[in-house]
């Protein structure tokens, strides 16, 4: 008897919930790239957990057939880490906006990265708070006018690529739905990376974004790192590329650790195995408990 192959297709990951994003929002492309990447990975939806925070982009788990948790603003990473530690066999995805990830959730990012929990974090970076109607986000450029910066922002934006690299993320990439095959490949590679992986997606907000942030402008200006001959194993070069964030749109893998270190969950399992070697058997513990109770 021949074994039955479990072939999965992108449509297996599309839920019945109809997206309510504005027509033309970049997030439509992001969810498509996730469907395609997951189909290439080949694991069924019930083996995948997808966590997000709050925002337009954070609606994304609901548009997939994976187990989804549209959670609390800025708290997707701690929840995703908990899920992965409780059940390391699950493929865990995490997603949200730049506001969700780098403002209110910004304190969680370094810790998720330094622990190196094997999750893939996809940020739809549109440089604005979309859901709450166009406030200034932490990645918005200096001078940017929004409803909360009517005379132009006087704050320097944060640089998410530099941040995650300096925190020690083993996989760092940037993509855009203006290049769907490229974005799909990045999401797939990030999922396959054994450790914390970060994909910053320049996902245009058509309602509150500016002209130069839209898909058409991105198509005209984006620069593929592989075409430029960038070596993703060169950490210092990756840092240099990251400094161009907000000035040039580089797409591709900035950095991939050549020898991925052990994940947090692997180290926990090892510690449990070592410690349980000398541990008393369960029955003996119960016996002692009853004796001294
Ligand atoms: C604790 C808390 N503070 C504030 C909000 C309001 N709020 C909801 S989404 C959001 C920002 C969304 O922006 P972003 O994360 O960039 O996602 P986008 O909508 O642009 O995809 C804010 C401030 C909230 N829901 N909870
Ligand atoms: S407000 Fe912006 S981010 Fe939100 S759905 Fe509309 S286009 Fe997308």
The CATH number covering residue 242 comes to 3.40.50.970
Would you say residue 23 has pLDDT above 90?
yes
Using CA positions, which residue lies closest to atom 25 of ligand 1? 73
pLDDT of residue 146: 97
Task: State CA 59 to chain mean position distance.
Answer: 14
Q: Is residue 5 part of a domain?
A: no
Q: Which ligand is nearest to the CA of 53?
A: 1
Whether 274 shows a pLDDT value over 90: the answer reads: yes
For ligand 2, whether the C-beta of 21 sits within 6 Å is: yes
Token pair in block for residue 115: 């622990």
User: 190 phi and psi, to 5 degrees?
Assistant: -65, -45
How would DSSP label each residue in 71-122?
A: --TT-HHHHHHHHHHH-TTSEEEEEEEHIIIIIITTTTHHHHHHHT-SEEEE
pLDDT of 109 > 60? The answer is: yes
Do 143 and 285 reside in the same domain of the chain?
Answer: no
**165 and 277 within one domain:** no
Q: What share of the chain is helix, strand, coil (3-state, %, to 5)?
A: 40, 15, 40
Q: Taking residues 49-55, what's their average pLDDT? A: 98
Contacts of 106 (CB under 8 A, 6+ apart): 74, 138, 158
Which ligand is in closest contact with the Cα of 25?
2
Residues in the chain, total: 293
251, 269: one domain: no
Q: Residue 141 falls within a domain, yes or no?
A: yes
Asked if 155 contacts 182 with a C-beta cutoff of 8 angstroms, the reply is no
pLDDT value for 250: 98
User: Could you tell me the residue range of the domain that residue 138 belongs to?
Assistant: 10-259
**Do 36 and 24 have their domain in common?**
yes
Q: Mean pLDDT of all residues in the chain?
A: 96
Answer yes or no: are the C-beta atoms of 264 and 83 closer than 8 Å.
no
Q: Is 56 in the pocket of ligand 1 (CB under 6 A)?
A: yes
Ligand 2 contacts CB of residue 208 (under 6 A): yes
Return the pLDDT at 5.
63
Strand residues in 105-243 grouped as ranges (E): 119-125, 128-129, 135-136, 171-175, 197-202, 223-224
What is the predicted pLDDT for the residue at 278?
87
**Higher confidence at residue 5 or residue 196?**
196
Asked if 149 and 245 sit in the same domain, the reply is yes
Same domain, 113 and 137: yes
The answer to whether residue 3 scores a pLDDT higher than 60 is: no
Whether residue 1 has pLDDT greater than 70: no
Question: Would you say residue 125 has pLDDT above 90?
Answer: yes
Q: Is residue 37 part of a domain?
A: yes
What's the whole-number mean pLDDT along residues 273-292?
Answer: 90
Residue 166 CB neighbour total at 10 angstroms: 13
At residue 194, the pLDDT reads 98
Q: Is 232 in the pocket of ligand 1 (CB under 6 A)?
A: no
Backbone region of residue 185 per phi and psi (left: phi > 0; alpha: psi in -120 to 50; beta: other values) = alpha
pLDDT on residue 4: 57
pLDDT at 154 over 70: yes
Least confident of 175-179, 266-270, 283-287: 283-287
Same domain (yes/no): 287, 269 = yes
Query: Is 122 found in the same domain as 242?
Result: yes
| Residue with CA closest to ligand 2 atom 6 | 22
Q: Ligand 1 pocket, 100 CB below 6 A? A: yes
* Alpha-carbon distance values, 160 to 9, 88, 165, 173, 261 (Å): 32, 27, 8, 11, 22
Ligand 2 contact via 185 beta carbon (within 6 Å): no
pTM score, whole prediction: 0.95
Atom 4, ligand 2: residue with shortest CA distance = 130
Q: Is the CB of 190 under 6 A from ligand 2?
A: no
- List C-alpha distances in Å: 96 to 55, 210, 264, 291: 7, 20, 23, 52
Q: To test the ligand 2 pocket, which listed residue (25, 146, 202) has its Cβ within 8 A of the most ligand atoms?
A: 25
pLDDT > 90? residue 15: yes
Q: Is 55 in the pocket of ligand 1 (CB under 6 A)?
A: yes
Contacts of 51 (CB under 8 A, 6+ apart): 61, 68, 69, 71, 76, 79, 80, 83, 92, 93, 94, 95
* Count of structural domains within the chain: 2
How many C-beta atoms lie closer than 10 Å to residue 145's C-beta?
A: 13
- How far out from the chain centre does Cα 20 lie? 21
């Amino acid at each position: 008897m021949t074994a039955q192959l479990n072939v999965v297709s992108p449509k297996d990951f599309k839920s019945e919930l109809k997206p309510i994003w504005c027509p033309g929002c970049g997030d439509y492309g992001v969810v498509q790239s996730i469907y395609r990447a997951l189909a290439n990975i080949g694991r069924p939806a019930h083996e995948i957990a997808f966590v997000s925070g709050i925002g337009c982009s954070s609606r994304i788990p609901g548009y997939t057939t994976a187990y989804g948790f549209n959670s609390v603003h800025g708290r997707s990473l701690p929840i995703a880490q908990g899920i992965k530690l409780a059940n390391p066999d699950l493929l865990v995805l995490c997603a949200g906006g730049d506001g969700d990830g780098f403002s209110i959730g910004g304190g969680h990012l370094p810790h998720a990265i330094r622990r190196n929990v094997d999750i893939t974090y996809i940020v739809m970076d549109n440089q604005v708070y979309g859901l709450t109607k166009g406030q200034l986000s932490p990645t918005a450029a200096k001078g940017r006018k929004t409803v909360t910066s009517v005379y132009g922002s006087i704050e320097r934006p944060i640089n998410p690529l530099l941040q995650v690299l300096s925190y020690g993320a083993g996989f760092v990439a940037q993509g855009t739905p203006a290049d769907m095959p490229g974005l799909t490949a990045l999401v797939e590679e990030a999922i396959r990376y054994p450790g914390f992986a970060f994909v910053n997606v320049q996902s245009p907000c058509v309602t509150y974004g500016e002209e130069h942030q839209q898909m058409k402008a991105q198509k005209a200006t984006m620069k593929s790192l592989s075409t430029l001959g960038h070596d993703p194993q060169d950490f210092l070069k990756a840092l240099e590329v990251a400094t161009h964030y907000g000035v040039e749109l580089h797409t591709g893998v900035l950095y991939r650790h050549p020898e991925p270190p052990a994940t947090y969950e692997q180290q926990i399992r090892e510690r449990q195995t070592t410690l349980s070697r000398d541990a008393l058997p369960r029955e003996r513990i119960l016996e002692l408990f009853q004796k001294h109770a």
